[in-house]
Amino acid sequence: MQVTLLGGGSKLIGGARTIELKRDEVLQLIVDGFFPRVAPDEPLQQRRAALVEFGLPYPADPAITRHVAAFLHKHAQAARQALANDQNQDRLPVPDSLLFNGGVFRSGALAERLHSTLGEWRGVALRILHNDNPDIAVARGAVAYALLRKAGGRGIGGGSARSYFLVLEEEGKGQQRRGVCILPRGSEEGHEIRLAERSFSLRLGQPVRFHLASSVADTAYRPGEIAELTDEDFIRLPPIATVVQAHAGSTQREVRVQLITSMTEVGTLELHCVSSEDVARRWLLEFQLRGERAGNGEPVVSAEAMPPRFADAVQCIENVFGARSQALESKEVRRMRSQLEHLLGKREHWDMPLLRALFDALMQRARRRRRSAEHERLWLNLAGYCLRPGLGYALDEWRIEQLCALHGQGIEYVGESQNWSEWWTLWRRAAGGLPAALQEKLLAELAPSLQSAAKTRSRLATALAGSHDDMLRLVASLERLPIEHKLDLGERLLERLHKATEKALGWWALGRIGARQSLYGSAHQVVPPEVAGRWLEAVLAVDWKKVEPAAFAATQLARLTGDRSRDLPDELRDRVLARLRAINASATWITQISSVVELDQADERRAFGESLPAGLRLLPEGRSAQ
């Protein structure tokens, strides 16, 4: 059998490689790769594989036999008790029968390898149960279950395999160590459980997290029972972060509720929060209980610890933007940034949880940003910095919605050039999360000032002219604009660059608008390669030693993505490579033209306009990092 690997880019055919594989080689690769003969006590391999997940859970260890061994070890104690097997306590309990399910086991080689491996672990060959059509066994089971649900009758049920607890938030404790049982082990699917003896306070209209823990222990917990979660039997599960909205017409920020829980047939825990005052008012939360993420034995750290002096930082914000804040001089307002850094450390080291927590504190006090021009500048600067790049953290979509509501209000001190600069910078920093509709609105506001010189000498015109560079950076960062808008922007910008009526920064902006690889946008919103090629010709005509942004623009326009619909011809990219080498440009720029690579931190900062929050790396839209 011959296998052909196609080349990349324009070398799709010319770069192809062909190899001949024999049947025995394929069998060995597949059987030994996925079903290797291993000892029953061989642990799973946790090394980082070449293939990492983007949305789907790919196990680090592809060896199915090792996963089977891990499963049997996990349930060894329960198996020994069920089998009443007092002999061979040192041997791993292995079933005496084997039922093959799924089309993969139509392969005799795979079925035989699993059968023989389990037999070696047990010491005796397993009996194979008959399954005439393993391909459709799951579908048959689903149909049988649906008929049972519709017509009634006997079914096999075991209830929830775990007990689930809602972790309690307790003041004065550094860690949350207690939880209330909301779903005892053995609870049947579809059966509602009311925690009648417990009442809770539910926060409305603000971002909140709900944390769960689970236990496979045989302890018979009762619904509503409080348990200490310090034992190793308790596993912290991924939380859900959400905003629980108040009902229409209500201004309540907290409401007293009771909980009703149930486990659905598809493996989700439904948690109904029912108002104690009006049972008709309820809120539904859902937690995923099944799958790789739900209970794999790995503790999940979900409550990010704030710095020790975070409360002092919030008080600092309250002193400037709070409802009862006293009148402050401009220098006192400006000091707030240095005070925050004194309390929390240098702001370039603030991580995502801290940044978003500070943004939430600022957003709650947004109305008081208009107290003075200095207040407005400070609020815009900090809010944008703490929300950048507008995506990448829980509830960022909700935060963007809150921010977008301020767009129509504009700025108060329109005659202040620095306030306009901070206004445009705020939207540039949040651009990654801004919806396409708002990006188009921003373009409509920016276009008149960018496309023609001001003809009046009004204070507003002067202030806007003073924020020209920030407007240019913003418009180049709007990656969700329709292609036709980007084409018009690029052509107008190129015309101004040719006439020398635009600053050198315009070349950077041209490179961002025509970039082959977006920071957060979709591939279908990338400028066509024939247009980008024409823009690149104009960049090549510039002296890169005198106009440094031109070299970066050329790198963005000629970057190799591996996608033939976006990549430029080899001849153009070779010319860019030669020019980059001639000016001793960064090695990473050269690599981006010749290979498909991610941006490094320095280039990401140059393209984005500043550094991203610690631990965050932007990916093209439609992909998510592990």
Average pLDDT over residues 119-133: 90
520 vs 45 pLDDT, higher one: 520
Average pLDDT over residues 296-308: 48
Per-residue model confidence (pLDDT) at position 158: 63
Mapped onto helix, strand or coil, the DSSP state of residue 243 is: strand
Alpha helices by DSSP H, listed for 388-467, are 396-404, 417-429, 436-451, 459-466
Average pLDDT over residues 194-210: 83
| pLDDT tens digits along 372-409 | 999 999 999 999 999 999 988 878 888 998 899 999 99
Tell me the whole-structure pTM to 2 decimals: 0.63
Mapped onto helix, strand or coil, the DSSP state of residue 383 is: helix
State the pairing for strand pair 163-167/226-228. unpaired
Written as one letter, the residue type at 360 is D
Q: Which residues of 443-457 are buried (b: 16+ CB within 10 A; e: fewer)?
A: bebbbebbeeeeeee
Average pLDDT over residues 499-511: 92
Residues in the chain: 626
pLDDT at 148 over 70: yes
Per-residue model confidence (pLDDT) at position 84: 66
Domain boundaries, the chain: 2-151, 163-288, 307-478, 483-626
CB atoms within 10 A of CB 376: 22
| pLDDT tens digits along 522-581 | 888 999 999 999 999 999 999 999 998 999 999 999 999 988 899 999 999 999 999 999
pLDDT at 253 over 50: yes
Contacting residues for 257 by C-beta, under 8 A, at least 6 apart = 199, 200, 201, 202, 273, 274, 275, 276, 283
Per-residue model confidence (pLDDT) at position 41: 86
182 vs 267 pLDDT, higher one: 182
Question: What band does 620 get if pLDDT is binned at 50, 70 and 90?
Answer: very low
Per-residue model confidence (pLDDT) at position 295: 38
Per-residue model confidence (pLDDT) at position 612: 67
Per-residue model confidence (pLDDT) at position 301: 29
What is the distance between the alpha carbons of residues 266 and 190, in angstroms, rounded to a whole number? 10
Q: Which DSSP string corresponds to 188-221? A: PTT--EE-TT--EEEE-SSEEEE-EEEE-----P
Per-residue model confidence (pLDDT) at position 303: 37
| pLDDT tens digits along 454-504 | 455 567 778 788 899 999 999 999 999 999 999 999 999 999 999 988 899
What is the distance between the alpha carbons of residues 361 and 383, in angstroms, rounded to a whole number? 9
Per-residue model confidence (pLDDT) at position 143: 87
Contacting residues for 461 by C-beta, under 8 A, at least 6 apart = 454
pLDDT at 52 over 90: no
- Cis ω on the peptide bond leading into residue 134 (within 30° of 0)? no
267 vs 260 pLDDT, higher one: 260
pLDDT at 216 over 80: no
163-288: in CATH 2.60.34: yes
Where is average pLDDT lowest: 85-89, 210-214, 282-286? Answer: 85-89
What is the residue-averaged pLDDT of the chain?
83
pLDDT at 605 over 80: no
pLDDT at 626 over 50: no
Q: Six-digit token pair at 192?
A: 């509602």
pLDDT above 90 as % of the chain: 40
What is the distance between the alpha carbons of residues 209 and 394, in angstroms, rounded to a whole number? 9
**Residue 587 half-sphere exposure toward CB, CA atoms < 13 A:** 0
Element (H, E) at 254: strand 254-263
